[in-house]
Amino acid sequence: MGKFFDVALLFIIVLSIILVMLESVADLNAKYFWEFYIAEWLITFFFTVEYILRIIAINKPKKYIFSFYGIVDLLSTIPTYIAVIFGGHNLLFAIRALRLLRVFRVLKITRYVGESNRLLVALRNSRAKIIVFLFTVFIICIIMGTLMHLVEGEAGGFNNIPISVYWCIVTLTTVGYGDIAPITPLGQAIASFIMITGYGIIAVPTGIVSAEYTRYFNRPAPTNTQVCPNCNESRHLDDAEFCHNCGNKMNLD
Amino acid sequence: MGKFFDVALLFIIVLSIILVMLESVADLNAKYFWEFYIAEWLITFFFTVEYILRIIAINKPKKYIFSFYGIVDLLSTIPTYIAVIFGGHNLLFAIRALRLLRVFRVLKITRYVGESNRLLVALRNSRAKIIVFLFTVFIICIIMGTLMHLVEGEAGGFNNIPISVYWCIVTLTTVGYGDIAPITPLGQAIASFIMITGYGIIAVPTGIVSAEYTRYFNRPAPTNTQVCPNCNESRHLDDAEFCHNCGNKMNLD
Amino acid sequence: MGKFFDVALLFIIVLSIILVMLESVADLNAKYFWEFYIAEWLITFFFTVEYILRIIAINKPKKYIFSFYGIVDLLSTIPTYIAVIFGGHNLLFAIRALRLLRVFRVLKITRYVGESNRLLVALRNSRAKIIVFLFTVFIICIIMGTLMHLVEGEAGGFNNIPISVYWCIVTLTTVGYGDIAPITPLGQAIASFIMITGYGIIAVPTGIVSAEYTRYFNRPAPTNTQVCPNCNESRHLDDAEFCHNCGNKMNLD
Amino acid sequence: MGKFFDVALLFIIVLSIILVMLESVADLNAKYFWEFYIAEWLITFFFTVEYILRIIAINKPKKYIFSFYGIVDLLSTIPTYIAVIFGGHNLLFAIRALRLLRVFRVLKITRYVGESNRLLVALRNSRAKIIVFLFTVFIICIIMGTLMHLVEGEAGGFNNIPISVYWCIVTLTTVGYGDIAPITPLGQAIASFIMITGYGIIAVPTGIVSAEYTRYFNRPAPTNTQVCPNCNESRHLDDAEFCHNCGNKMNLD
């Protein structure tokens, strides 16, 4: 029963996101306005019931309401109601923004992803290094962007420093839209230098995460499941004969 | 004899794929229609004979027919015949699709690639993590795409959420076509943030596979399962002739 | 008090960089000319005071003046003064370049980033290898660029070798602006080859840095130099309290 | 003296490559035709003398002539002479190709790069795996390119299978020129899938090289410099007490 509810919920979440996305397509919204309208209210009703049931079922409703999932669940429900209340007003942009908030329903899916926790741990461990790295990239972009603004001038689209910095980020991250591109030989030479630098330093965050992961894997080997019978310590070197925590003799398997 | 047949088969497979590709070029198809037609039937005849011979030669034909290679071999042969049978009808698109199915002949080459098995094992081991990662990327793209649709509006080509999500995938994966690109300062700022984020998280799948590989290599190599008969020490270099722990002569396999 | 000064300084640095960037936007500069002018002089005054105070406060002012931070601090102050002195002349480009020098104020922020030192060490260790690698990439680009110039000619924009080499760098680093793109089938085939090569060799710098990092992490951590006083075993987990080899109590440092 | 000659040679090589590149720029060639002409003959004369001196100085001239550097040295000299001999003819394209051969002079620089050997060893070790990987990428591109040709048709520029495969390579390697881009929703959905796949599998070659490098570094640890006093074998596990090659007791340091 609980499993059926889970699958049904997952199905409705995916459906509701597809609905929000399709509603934004002008043609489809004009054609299927009423179908979208009814489906939207059915989903909102379902999520409202789910939200209320969760509050009733859980021991500490206050903790749930202010938790990550509680806020996500609320955000999944409330925009439809608010859009109705303020529907008569002319705050069109605000309404539209509110309605699009429904897209956060996608975060409801994260409940189903258990594996991601591990990934988050690995990312969190190398967070400080990656932030410093991205910060360095940003400083490089500001300096090189200013240089390109000076060299290229307005001919190649480098009208001001912010847009030159934007171009530099687009280039250094190897995205390369091509809407702004250097046209003077000197500008192209500097751009080449930036690109090759970007190619060289893209290795850094990868190396950090990779090393973090390798370290993570190398520590508790999956074949070494021995646990100290005295203190229940579980991380041991492969050839440990004594527990490194309490000095007890290990039972080797 | 068997080796000659192998090389000939490989040659014909490559030839048949080039043929399918060239046939799709309108100019070449108009000019060399009959040459392509004859070559196609010769190749189909060859593959048909090969398919029948395989069924005859193999002990359990049923198992082969429903195996990966059996289906690939069938798909390499049958489209030409079906295209003839339904040739008189007007199901032009279906016929075209059927004819293009012949491109799956390229999978026949995988028989010649032994090394790939190992790669597949490594990929399979990190499959779960990579799927979770790509899933996370997809959720980020839905949320950021919606945000960009709201910020950029229709001016920059962000007409609806699906196309904004498409743009976000194009940007985060650093492909960057440039057919859709932000033009408002705020949109460009958010795009910069997405790009730098993408630059930072591209490290994650690489780190996973890299760590998986390192772990794979660091484990005792599968061919080196030798254990010292004297002291039972099991970690040995690949070409060790004496046990590094007790100095006993090893039994080389 | 010192902490408050630090935060205030960081705030003013960020503000001054935003100011330099916004000043370069023609519209904003026309509209808010006087606001920018006053803010610029306030910031310059602040930095001048900071620079003089540092010289007074530090024991060896000469060493500071010619250090990295000393030069950065000077570069943050002097351009505003020089621009005033030469303001009457027509050396517009030189003035503009001088004014943009103020963007180097961003380097003042590096004082706040302690973590980056470690990153720099890791990068410095693999510097020689990465330079050789980038050099190899550059040689490939010169040869392939010349080849593309020969194959594509002037139709696809490959007018001369320098621009073809530029295109080759843009392609190999996977930036791909699309302002220059091959249009002949042979050119596209060579481009495909270059791209797949680039895809294959992008792994090299990543691998180098990653391996360097892993090595750095795998070495006994600098804090864990403990050796068992009983059996001299030296590989221990960071928080081991007993020797895993003989069970002796460790002397924790 | 030998060192001065080395530096002078390096200088002339770099100069000669810059010359070849600048000559291809139509404007510069028209303006400085005679300067380029004279410089070209001076460099050719210098390289000719160097080539003859090397043949005279080396013991086995035959081996040198057919070695990699011998061929590079010949290719650096001969195109200028041949261009003169056939200069009167109308084989313009062939002449141009011949003249551009001079760009291979860049390979003369590789003599100065000692470090690259190590890189080449690491690349060679993972060569088989990388080739298999790139081959897999190519098969994916053929199949997905055919699919896109079927889905997009001629509207988005996917006129035939070869060009669709080219587009698929451009996309999967994250280059993304944007000259060809899907415009139908289904095509964009498939393109998104290809991009995310490419993002996921870009990890594979990196992981391979990274693991290869890590293994390379992990094998002969820099602190483990012990050599067997009996057989001079130098690769030993960190805690080896007996030589794994001859069984001799090791002197632990």
pLDDT tens digits, one per residue of B107-163: 777 766 655 555 666 667 767 777 777 777 888 899 899 899 888 877 778 888 899
Work out the end-to-end distance of chain B between its first and last CA atoms, rounded to an integer number of angstroms: 32
pLDDT tens digits, one per residue of A57-94: 888 888 888 888 888 888 888 888 877 776 655 555 66
Provide block-wise average pLDDT over 10 residues at a time, chain A (253 residues): 80 88 86 89 90 87 84 84 68 66 76 60 69 80 90 82 92 88 90 83 70 60 52 55 62 48
Q: Could you tell me the pLDDT band of residue B224, with boundaries at 50, 70 and 90?
A: very low
D178–A177 C-beta distance less than 8 A? yes
Residue D221 has pLDDT above 50, yes or no: no
Kindly list the residues from chain C whose CB atom is less than 8 angstroms away from the CB atom of residue D214. 210-211, 214-215
Share of chain A above pLDDT 90, in %: 11
* Other chains touching C, judged by 3 or more CB pairs under 8 Å: A, B, D
Tokens 């007993």, residue located: C242
Choice between B183 and D154, residue whose per-residue pLDDT is larger: B183
Nearest CA in chain B to D228: B244
Kindly list the residues from chain A whose CB atom is less than 8 angstroms away from the CB atom of residue B185. 162
Mean pLDDT of B76-99: 70
Question: If you classify domain D2-112 with CATH, what class do you get?
Answer: mainly alpha
Domain ranges (residues) in chain A: 2-112, 136-204
Q: Could you tell me the pLDDT band of residue D139, with boundaries at 50, 70 and 90?
A: confident
Chain A touched by D214 (CB under 8 Å):
yes
Kindly report which listed range (A47-51, D43-47, D248-252) carries the lowest average pLDDT score: D248-252
| Residue B24, min C-alpha distance to chain C (Å) | 14
Check if the beta carbon of residue C204 is closer than 8 Å to that of residue D123: yes
Question: If you classify domain D125-204 with CATH, what class do you get?
Answer: mainly alpha
Positions in chain C short of pLDDT 50 = 220-225, 252-253
The correct CATH number of C123-204 out of 3.40.50.720, 1.10.287.70, 3.30.70.270, 1.10.760.10 is: 1.10.287.70
The Cα C146–Cα D73 span in angstroms is: 18
Mutation target vs B (from C209, C210, C212, C215; most B CBs, 10 A cutoff): C210
- Average confidence score pLDDT of chain D: 77
> Which pair of structure tokens corresponds to residue D11?
């200088």
**Residue D235 CA: distances (Å) to CA of B238, D220, D224, D244:** 11, 6, 8, 9
The correct CATH number of C2-113 out of 1.10.287, 3.40.50, 1.20.120, 2.60.40 is: 1.20.120
Topology match between the domains B2-112 and B124-204? no
Written as one string, the DSSP assignment of A40-70 is HHHHHHHHHHHHHHHHHHSS-HHHHHTSHHH
Nearest CA in chain C to B179: C178
| Residue D160, min C-alpha distance to chain B (Å) | 5
Domain B124-204 fold is Helix Hairpins (1.10.287)
Give the D window 54-73 contacts with C, CB below 8 Å: none
B166–D188 C-beta distance less than 8 A? yes
Return contacts of A48-51, CB within 8 angstroms, 24+ apart. A48/A77, A50/A9, A51/A76, A51/A77
| pLDDT reported for residue A214 | 64
Chain C touched by D168 (CB under 8 Å):
no
Written as one string, the DSSP assignment of chain D is -HHHHHHHHHHHHHHHHHHHHHHTSHHHHHHSHHHHHHHHHHHHHHHHHHHHHHHHHSS-HHHHHTSHHHHHHHHHHHHHHHHHHTTTSS-HHHHHHHHHGGGGGGGGGGGG--THHHHHHHHHHTHHHHHHHHHHHHHHHHHHHHHHHHHHTTTTT--SHHHHHHHHHHHHTT---SSS---SHHHHHHHHHHHHHHHHHTHHHHHHHHHHHHHHHHSS-TT-----TTT------TT-SB-TTT-PBP---
| pLDDT reported for residue A128 | 72
Nearest CA in chain B to A136: B196
| pLDDT reported for residue D197 | 78
The gap from C-alpha B102 to its chain's centroid, in whole angstroms, comes to 17
Domain A136-204 fold is Helix Hairpins (1.10.287)
DSSP 8-state class, residue A2: H
Nearest CA in chain D to B138: D196
Residue D191 has pLDDT above 90, yes or no: yes
A242–C244 C-beta distance less than 8 A? yes
